[in-house]
A and B are shown apart, each in its own frame.
Chain A
Amino acid sequence: EVQLVESGGDLVQPGRSLRLSCVASGFTFDDYAMHWVRQVPGKGLEWLAGISWNRASIDYEDSVKGRFTIFRDNAKNSLYLQMNSLRAEDTALYYCAKDLGITLREGRAFDIWGQGTMVTVSS
């Protein structure tokens, strides 16, 4: 079965760090670009970051640039999001998503999504 399973979400204080993980199964992980997308409960979807199959291309949404780092370990079929200097406005459900393409520049859609992991930033 093709699936993505996120983990690592938690309640953290403002200014602290958190690392999210996403484990892929059922497809050849290193054949595809991957992304992180978040959603504040009851609100819309926000793309955060993407990484190409070989890590050669990485991009971020401006609000997380410099605070969040996306990386992947193809040997472990895993995608990660290191989140530093967390703010209350980072509170959201975080999804990892598989790209239909291998690079970020192909402009493809996201065909597989995980179930999400919840991050709450509060003192």
Chain B
Amino acid sequence: DIHMTQSPSSLSASVEDRVTITCRASQSVGIYLNWYQQKPGKAPKLLIYGASSLQSGVPSRFSGSGSGTDFTLTISSLQPEDFATYYCQQSYNIPRTFGQGTKVEIK
């Protein structure tokens, strides 16, 4: 199985801060890397697929980059509604493993 490791596990940030979350795969996943946002009591929401493609309806302050084993999710200017937990997921092979999550909290 491909193991996905996110860092940090949590972070505190202020509104309008630039936030970066990283995800590392235990082996190459090409660009088969997706990012999800989950708010408390809600289902995950797809933000980025294919490492850098923005899902329809997702604000342009979210962006993704990377390939192979190292990936980044960037929020260019953190907004109040962005405080949530973010997960990366590889879709290169089965099982479709997720990272452990990064919780973005208000500073």
Q: What residues make up the interface of A, taking CB atoms closer than 8 Å to B? A: 35, 44-47, 50, 59-62, 95, 100, 104, 107-111, 113-116
Contact (Cβ within 8 A) A44 B44: no
Contact (Cβ within 8 A) B91 A108: yes
B49-79: CB near A (< 8 Å → 1, else 0) gives 1100001000000000000000000000000
Shortest distance between the CB of A7 and any CB in chain B (Å)? 15
B24-66: CB near A (< 8 Å → 1, else 0) gives 0000000010101010000111100110000100000000000
A61 touching B95 in the complex, CB below 8 Å, given contacts A44-B100, A111-B46, A114-B43: yes
Q: What residues make up the interface of B, taking CB atoms closer than 8 Å to A? A: 1, 32, 34, 36, 38, 43-46, 49-50, 55, 87, 89, 91-101
Partner of B98 from A47, A100, A115 at Cβ < 8 Å = A47
Contact (Cβ within 8 A) A104 B94: yes
Q: A108-B91, A110-B44, A111-B46 are in contact. List 13 more A-B contacts (CB 8 A).
A: A44-B87, A44-B98, A45-B101, A47-B95, A47-B96, A50-B94, A62-B1, A62-B95, A95-B43, A108-B49, A109-B50, A110-B36, A113-B45
Contact (Cβ within 8 A) B43 A113: yes
User: Quick one: closest B residue to A48, CB to CB?
Assistant: B95
Contact (Cβ within 8 A) A113 B44: yes
User: Quick one: closest B residue to A45, CB to CB?
Assistant: B98
Shortest distance between the CB of A27 and any CB in chain B (Å)? 13
* Inter-chain contacts of A104 with B (CB < 8 A): 94
